[in-house]
Structure 1
Amino acid sequence: MKHSKAIAAVVLLLAAGGGAYWYFRAGPGAGTNLTVGGLNLAPSGAAAPAAAANAPRSGPPVAHVEATKPRVGQSRETVTAVGTFRSNESVVLRPEVASRVKSINFEEGQKVKRGQVLVQLDAAMEDATVAQAEAAYQLSKANNDRQKVLGARQIATERSVDEAHAALKRDEAALQLARARLEKFTLIAPWDGVVGLRKVSVGAYINVGQEIVNIEQIDPLKVDFRVPENFLASVRVGQEIAVTADAFPGRNFPGKVFAIDPLVDEQGRAVVVRALIDNSDELMRPGVFARVTLTLNIRDNAMFLPEQALMPVGERHSVFKVVGGKALLTSVEIGRRQNGEVEVTKGLSPDDLVVSAGQIKLRNGAPVQVVPKDFQPGGRASPPPAGK
């Protein structure tokens, strides 16, 4: 009897082991639960869904992306250069005659008006020469008038009348010469401006051409700068410039091009451009180093995208547009780049929604969901910074 029970137990164990081996090899839901000796060998919670095995699989996961519409604005095609501020007019006052400085009629650094006497040289001898010439002229004039009267009465000869007239002309020319020489002893301002630092003092003897003082007209100011010759066809009179200077950080000086040198520098392969800027506050000074931004062309209603939205492939560029919840790869043509943005010249419209972040792993036609920039997996936004 005991022998029969032992055999039955062994058979039961073998059956249970075989059933377990079959179940785990086939996997959950591959067949019907196995019952041996009234025991259910399927693990708790294991389903046997024959229908679930035949259910259709779900599609690819939805990718979370950030998207933006093109920014519509003004596109400026510019070229940068370095240059120098220059006076609108500049001259160094120098005498045309040698003499002693009699008086200086200006203060250094002050404004002067056109025609204002700046320096008076000693002209005592020239004053005497002018007086002598005036006396000779008056005498010649009286003789000429007398000879005219006598000639009309046919008392004076025709020759004496001609000689009197010639003497008058000679003395008149001598007077004009004396007066012209006298004027050179008075140095005046040729136009409105600001005088610099004088190089002479009262009483000093100065020679012809010796430097006395410089005069600068600083409103407006000129800016001279060089542009590479490959931009020559794009540079035109009237174009706008924006000038900055290290001496005045954060300050812009707007201006316009008014002259272009017709000669291209063959050494530097550049053309010299001259612009005019307003300096009514007289803040800027000639000789200051300038950084110039020249606007070559302006386009209104241009479209811009963040640079990271581009998908460059060789020399071609593409972006992902969001259309109907899917990412569509679209070829675009780009223009200039500025401040982290790139101009799109072809391939988009202002109402298109373009993926700006998260496009690296996208494929054409992949389902996408546009999320805010601070989105985190799990549906929560990142917490705001402390203190806000």
Structure 2
Amino acid sequence: MEWREKLQMNKTTRLVNETSTKEKNKTGRSFRIIILLSIFFLVFVGLYSRREKILSLFKTNNKKEQPAYVKVETVSTDRTIQLSIVQNMSLEAINRVKLIPRVTGRLEKLHVKKGDPVRKEQVIATLEHTQQDSQIEAAVASVASSIAETERAKAEMMNAKTNLERYKRLIAEGFSTQQQYDSIETTYSSTKANYNAAIAKQRQLASELNRVRSARGDYIIKSPLDGTVLDDYSLAPGAMISPNTPIFDIADLTQLKATLKIPESKIFVVKENMPVTLRFDALPEKEFNGTVTRIDNYVAPDTRTSNVEIALNNRDTGMILRPGMFGQASIIEKEKKDCIVIPDVALRERESGFYVLTVVENKALLRPVEIGIKQNGEVEIIKGLNKGEKVIIFGGSNLKNEDYVKIQEDNS
């Protein structure tokens, strides 16, 4: 019995010892894992920090090795720049009329159509005028009859006058009585009155003939000027027209004009006979010359502008311009010659003023400048640049002072 109890106790003791040993081994392994993880973390942090420093150095070195490509313009002192007043405008014909008949009638014939050239006093349309022709024929007949009547009255008067003179001699010689003479004198006075009445009637009938002829002229429509038919309003023979119906739009295309609205602040800059440069949207590659011909002597209160009229000779353009064409007119207000002019894209601004970037020994250098006239994408540099310097005009939007750059050659 005793030896069995001892054997059982020994087994129990070994089991406890084995369990204790396993727990100790497990704890040791966990501790070693924690230590290894800690070491790994510290190594990782160190390597990451060094990586950032290396990358930072690499970027810095790379920036120096990869300069920004820029385009430059070399400064010259022989440029010219102009300050101009630029206004939108639309061309008009100086001489243009819309023909409206003076009478109501039926259109008999159109002698010209849209686009045709016409001469002054050329017949361009005819209204039916049968009634007017009949009136003229009747008036002509009346005048002819009146002329014959006047001639008869004149002959009677001349006969009576001759008879009266004869009786004057007879009564002086004692061969006639005063009573006979008085009778002859009365006859002469009567024939003279008849003659004067015939003349008055003839004049009246001639005036009536002129009137009906003139009235008939209203049915024969003529061009009032040399020009071109801009519109015939699609009228056709047989149409009824009246004094409210335009039948032709005619313009002289050789002389054109445009009206500009000049701001009040520029009124005294513009003078008559000043040259004007004209550009049109339909002809963007061409320029045309005009002249200031009239300046209004008042300012419109609603727009604070004055109308300025300019004229141009379309013959000088080869007759290519047309009324209604839209474009811009430029009047030179100020002009500078032999000065420094650069593209305005090269100009930058900050609180202290304007500056540009120049290239010196492959570095972009900031240069403060003073500017003058600025127009049409160019700017005058009054101070800050010298002849021969290179100004960055492209590629320098993010550059700072002393950044490295490389000039890109323009192969265009």
Q: Distance in 1 between matches of 2:157 and 2:74?
A: 104
Equivalence for 1:342: 380
Distance 1:302 1:384, change over 3 A: closer
Equivalence for 2:296: 261
The alignment-based identity, stated in percent, is 18
Flag the structure with higher helix content.
Answer: 2
1:182 CA displacement: 0.7
Distance 1:302 1:142, change over 3 A: farther
Distance 1:129 1:79, change over 3 A: same
Q: Distance in 1 between matches of 2:408 and 2:274?
A: 49
Residue 211 (1) aligns with residue 246 (2): yes
Distance 1:146 1:315, change over 3 A: farther
Distance 1:68 1:244, change over 3 A: closer
Counterpart of 1:113 (choices 115, 119, 128) is 119
Distance 1:354 1:312, change over 3 A: farther
Any conservation in 2 of the 1:92–1:213 contact (CA below 8 Å)?
A: yes
* Higher gyration radius (CA): 2
Counterpart of 2:333 (choices 273, 286, 296) is 296
User: TM-score, normalised to structure 2's length?
Assistant: 0.60
Counterpart of 1:125 (choices 122, 131, 136) is 131
Distance 1:248 1:197, change over 3 A: farther
Equivalence for 1:278: 313
Any conservation in 1 of the 2:348–2:354 contact (CA below 8 Å)?
A: no
Equivalence for 1:103: 109
- Report the AA paired with residue 91 of structure 1: V
Counterpart of 2:200 (choices 142, 160, 166) is 166
- Report the AA paired with residue 289 of structure 1: F
Equivalence for 1:16: none
Residue 190 (1) aligns with residue 224 (2): yes
1:228 CA displacement: 0.7
Distance 1:384 1:222, change over 3 A: closer
Distance 1:227 1:309, change over 3 A: closer
Q: Distance in 1 between matches of 2:282 and 2:368?
A: 48
Any conservation in 2 of the 1:309–1:356 contact (CA below 8 Å)?
A: no
Distance 1:277 1:144, change over 3 A: same
User: TM-score, normalised to structure 1's length?
Assistant: 0.63
1:95 CA displacement: 1.2
1:206 CA displacement: 1.8
Q: Distance in 2 between matches of 1:342 and 1:185?
A: 66
1:310 CA displacement: 10
- Report the AA paired with residue 92 of structure 1: K
Higher relative contact order (CA 8 A, sep 6+): 2
Aligned CA RMSD, in angstroms, stands at 3.9
Distance 1:284 1:353, change over 3 A: closer
Q: Distance in 2 between matches of 1:249 and 1:221?
A: 19
| SS at 1:258 equivalent | strand
Any conservation in 1 of the 2:262–2:308 contact (CA below 8 Å)?
A: yes
- Report the AA paired with residue 322 of structure 2: R
How many matched pairs?
A: 294
| SS at 1:256 equivalent | strand
1:266 CA displacement: 1.6
Q: Distance in 2 between matches of 1:262 and 1:91?
A: 26
Counterpart of 2:95 (choices 82, 89, 99) is 89
Q: Which runs of 5+ in 2 are unaligned?
A: 1-71, 162-187, 359-366, 393-399
Any conservation in 2 of the 1:67–1:353 contact (CA below 8 Å)?
A: no
Counterpart of 2:284 (choices 249, 265, 288) is 249
What are the superposed Cα offsets for residues 291-317 of structure 1, whole Å, 9 maximum, x if unpaired? 222223455x44234366999996899
Any conservation in 2 of the 1:103–1:119 contact (CA below 8 Å)?
A: yes
Q: Distance in 2 between matches of 1:137 and 1:176?
A: 11
Any conservation in 2 of the 1:242–1:293 contact (CA below 8 Å)?
A: yes
| SS at 1:201 equivalent | coil
1:330 CA displacement: 11
Equivalence for 1:32: none
Q: Distance in 2 between matches of 1:205 and 1:383?
A: 75
Q: How does 1:1-388 map to 2 (within 5 A)?
A: 70-152=76-158, 153-154=160-161, 155-157=188-190, 158-195=192-229, 196-280=231-315, 281-298=318-335, 301-306=337-342, 334-337=372-375, 339-342=377-380, 344=382, 353=387, 357=391
| SS at 2:311 equivalent | strand
Equivalence for 2:11: none
- Report the AA paired with residue 145 of structure 2: L
- Report the AA paired with residue 130 of structure 1: I
